[in-house]
């Protein structure tokens, strides 16, 4: 088990078909963090359905509860898909707390953690469009999962259609660049050395210079397409990219059945859509 000073995980979207909960659990079990920042959209309340809540998703909740019982310092930063939890801002249980943002000092440097949806124009003025887009995105992930199930059977590598689409659409690239610029400018004006976001599912670490100040922008990515997290150790940030092949010992019989279960779940979903 690796010792980690601080870990940031965001955009897990528990309760959706695209969530790679089994892979996330493997990662969480492989580390022993001192501080955990759950940086928004951990539970997808927008898309939540009683018909879909697999055991693997519940295991993530149980693992976080285990960390809470162990007394780990955990910040649940609310996002847009779990914005309902903003009603409980300030709730504490041991060293676990629900917040909308958090500022920590890491080796003398002020670090600003927040989800990032407050800078999303769609979220501010047309939330119904954002929610509709979320449904469409989840359907695309569902179709993608089905195709990858077939690819796996015939021995081909998995692929992410949603990721390819986003990376090829100029509008999406411009949106990401604009998002980063706004965040960095605000961080600079508040004398933050690090600003850590989620929301756009685009893992990244990049240094910016604005006037005489330097700001490092970080994004933890997601557990839908990229399977990434941010780790802070020995005064350095790094992006963790999950590779399941390195964690064979964690694979259980429950995980080995995942493709068959996913197939059955997807067929049920398609039948519901037809109705």
pLDDT in tens, 142-166: 666 666 667 666 777 666 655 555 5
Q: How many CB atoms within 10 Å of residue 183?
A: 26
Q: Confirm if 194 and 215 have CB atoms less than 8 A apart.
A: yes
Does the pTM surpass 0.95? The reply is: no
Q: What is the mean pLDDT of residues 220-237?
A: 96
Domain boundary assignment for the chain? 2-274
Q: Confirm if 166 and 141 have CB atoms less than 8 A apart.
A: no
Q: What is the mean pLDDT of residues 105-129?
A: 74
Q: Which DSSP string corresponds to 175-211?
A: HHHHHHHHHHHHHHHTT-SEEEE-SS---EEEEEEET
Residue 48 pLDDT class (50, 70, 90 cuts): confident
Give the lowest-confidence range in 48-52, 168-172, 205-209: 168-172
Homologous superfamily (CATH) of 2-274 is Metallo-dependent phosphatases (3.60.21.10)
pLDDT recorded at residue 12: 97
pLDDT in tens, 59-111: 999 999 999 999 999 999 999 989 999 999 999 999 999 999 999 999 999 99
Nearest in space to 219 (alpha carbons), one of 79, 92, 58, 46: 79
């Amino acid at each position: 088990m690796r010792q980690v000073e601080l870990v940031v995980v965001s955009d897990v979207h528990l309760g959706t078909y695209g969530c790679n909960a089994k892979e996330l659990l493997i990662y969480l079990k492989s580390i022993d963090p001192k501080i955990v920042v759950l940086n928004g959209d951990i539970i997808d309340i927008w898309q939540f359905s009683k018909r879909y809540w697999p055991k693997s998703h519940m295991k993530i909740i149980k693992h976080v509860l285990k960390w809470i019982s162990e007394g780990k310092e955990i910040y649940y930063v609310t996002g847009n898909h779990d914005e309902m939890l903003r009603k409980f801002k300030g709730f504490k249980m041991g060293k676990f707390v629900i917040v909308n943002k958090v500022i920590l000092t890491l080796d003398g440097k002020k670090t600003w953690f927040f989800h990032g949806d407050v800078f999303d124009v769609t979220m501010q003025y047309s939330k119904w469009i954002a929610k509709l887009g979320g449904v469409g995105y989840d359907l695309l992930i569902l179709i993608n999962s089905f195709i990858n199930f077939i690819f796996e059977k015939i021995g081909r590598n998995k692929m992410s259609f949603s990721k390819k689409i986003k990376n090829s659409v100029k509008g999406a690239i411009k949106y990401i660049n604009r998002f980063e610029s706004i965040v960095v400018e605000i961080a600079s004006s508040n004398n933050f050395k690090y600003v850590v976001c989620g929301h756009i599912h685009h893992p990244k670490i990049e240094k910016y210079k604005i006037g005489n100040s330097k700001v490092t922008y970080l994004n933890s990515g997601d557990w839908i397409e990229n399977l990434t997290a941010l780790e802070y150790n020995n005064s350095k940030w790094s992006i963790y990219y999950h590779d399941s092949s390195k964690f064979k010992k964690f694979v259980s019989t429950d995980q080995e059945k995942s493709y068959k279960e996913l197939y059955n779940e997807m067929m049920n979903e398609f039948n519901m859509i037809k109705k």
